[in-house]
Structure 1
Amino acid sequence: MENYPYFPSAAKKETTFPGEIRKGQRGKKVKRVQEWLSFHDFKTSTDGDFGPATNLCVKDFQNAKGIKVTGRINKTTWEALVKPMTDVLTDVNPTEGTTAAQNILAFAKQHLKLHPVEIGGQNRGPWVRMYLKGNEGKQWAWCAGFVTFVMEQAYASLGRKMPIKGSFSCDNLAHQAKQKGLFVEGSEIVTKRIKWDELPASWIFLNRKTPSDWTHTGFGFAGFDEVFRTLEGNTNDNGSRDGYEVCQRVRDNKKRDYIRLPD
């Protein structure tokens, strides 16, 4: 894990074993346990209080994973709880000749496979904190954080610098792309002045509210006629920009702008 090229401090904070946790304890360590239990569908309150309900959920989780049933969180149990996050950080490596855009798509699909979701409220939980460098809460929409994190992960694995700095803000992503000459106005795609196959294997899409205001972002790929496929965070099956998960969707090309991702 330590040798992997992109394992940022926010991810280490979420995945590093904090020491044994048991019934009767309170605090952030307990809350993290409750969040991960809920992620694995052993749902209980995320109140930071290791009471009887949390104790039973831990036992149920240990039993399901073939771990000695104690009701306490030891290193083995902790690592099983956080395995989805460690997997998303370590299970994808670029093959020789992989372009940056192809690599981004591979990493984004790995995130999708592990199904990151909000836990404990709007824009909250370990996945949100990882994408947003420890931040969470109602005001912390995380779609741009997801895009930035995956780009950082993918470019780091290739030993290359990102073409744009990245941001938690859709507007900032757009401005960075314009400064680097990577911004593609949606009208160029709609009128076919730029064809889908002229874009790389993946790109960034931006939902445009006004010519200077973008409200949601994610990765696009496989464009065809008036539609393209996406991998995006902070959304859901209804396409909300205030959703709760990473998912794959199909979107049309209306009111979108794009950012090229150079190979």
Structure 2
Amino acid sequence: MMVHVFDGELAELSPWIRGEVEFAAPVSQGALGKPVRRAQEWLNLHGTGVVVDGAFGPATRRAVTEFQSRSGLEQTGEVDEATFGQFVAPMVDVLRQRLTASVPLADALVEYARAHLAARPREVGGPNTGPWVRLYMNGRQGEAFAWCAGFVTFLLEQAAQSLEMDMPLPGSVSTDALALQAEHAGVLLTGDGAARKITPGCLFLIRCVDSDWNHTGIVTAIYDESFSTIEGNTNDAGQREGVEVCARTRAFHGNPPKDFIHF
């Protein structure tokens, strides 16, 4: 079983998640490879810009020192355990068990979505690349791996596991697969009447043509002619191939058409 939340130790989590948040060994000037690239990704995510090239040179050392200074850490220029812990703190926070009482699945999903939004996940190091993309995509990354459905599925797994209940759908990193799973389960809402039936915690799907959807996210609030969302792999323009997790407001009607998954 894949585990997406922890209540005690990071060791409770699935291996690909632990690989993102567990400290392995110090990294210092002269080092090469994946540990260096991971440090450079986090430096960028924390606003200390450096080229993500997997080579720990003077520029990376200087960026580490600046980050340590801002974080109140000893300025060693080396990525030690304390520095790495500060790097990954936003990700560790969203992986913690957040629920202290039984709530509806939809409410739990919205709560996790808001926690992830507050952590400001975004790509770094290339299209559909970086620690947050790997988290949502079971360790995968790269231009071919659009991650909006992976984001939704990861949060749905967190909500279901927190409530100790089964997933309402198998989940997928494919938006089309999510829609077809919902259709098979009888929870896909389409057509003009769909907007009247949804509640916060539903998923929205943007449909290109019949049986082809290209973007998804979580509905967080509903108004007369619009709804608020939290969605991954989008941007300020609301496009499906963006770079971050955003909160948006979308209209119920118009193009492109929208369908919904109601749990």
TM-score (norm 1): 0.93
Contact 2:199-2:221 within 8 A present in 1 as well: no
* Identity level (%): 42
1:120 aligned onto 2:119: no
Tell me what 2:262 maps to: 260
Residues 1:2 and 1:21: Cα distance change in structure 2 (over 3 Å):
farther
1:152 aligned onto 2:157: yes
SS at match of 1:251: strand
Rounded to whole Å, the distance in 2 between the matches of 1:225 and 1:71 is 54
Per-residue deviation, residues 159-195 of structure 1 (Å, max 9, x unmatched): 00110000011100000001111110142235xxxx2
Contact 2:194-2:260 within 8 A present in 1 as well: no
Pairwise CA distance, 1:118:
0.2
SS at match of 1:249: strand
SS at match of 2:231: strand
Tell me what 1:36 maps to: 42
AA of the residue aligned to 2:94 = V
Tell me what 2:16 maps to: 10
Rounded to whole Å, the distance in 2 between the matches of 1:214 and 1:9 is 31
Tell me what 2:144 maps to: 139
Tell me what 2:116 maps to: 111
Pairwise CA distance, 1:3:
3.5
AA of the residue aligned to 2:245 = V
Contact 1:117-1:245 within 8 A present in 2 as well: yes
Q: 2:105 aligns with which of 100, 105, 124?
A: 100
Per-residue deviation, residues 63-86 of structure 1 (Å, max 9, x unmatched): 111111100111111101111110
Rounded to whole Å, the distance in 2 between the matches of 1:217 and 1:171 is 10
Q: What is the alpha-carbon root mean square deviation over aligned residues?
A: 1.5
Tell me what 1:77 maps to: 83
AA of the residue aligned to 1:257 = D
**Unmatched 5+ stretches in structure 2:** 1-5
Rounded to whole Å, the distance in 2 between the matches of 1:44 and 1:60 is 11
SS at match of 2:170: coil
Pairwise CA distance, 1:239:
0.3
Per-residue deviation, residues 130-150 of structure 1 (Å, max 9, x unmatched): 100111111100000000000
SS at match of 1:231: strand
AA of the residue aligned to 1:76 = A
Per-residue deviation, residues 47-67 of structure 1 (Å, max 9, x unmatched): 000000000000001111111
TM-score (norm 2): 0.93
1:217 aligned onto 2:216: yes
Tell me what 1:177 maps to: 182
Contact 1:234-1:244 within 8 A present in 2 as well: yes
Tell me what 2:244 maps to: 245
Tell me what 2:194 maps to: 189
Contact 1:220-1:230 within 8 A present in 2 as well: yes
**Unmatched 5+ stretches in structure 1:** none
Contact 1:227-1:250 within 8 A present in 2 as well: yes
Pairwise CA distance, 1:93:
1.7
SS at match of 2:94: helix
Matched positions, count: 254
Rounded to whole Å, the distance in 2 between the matches of 1:107 and 1:4 is 19
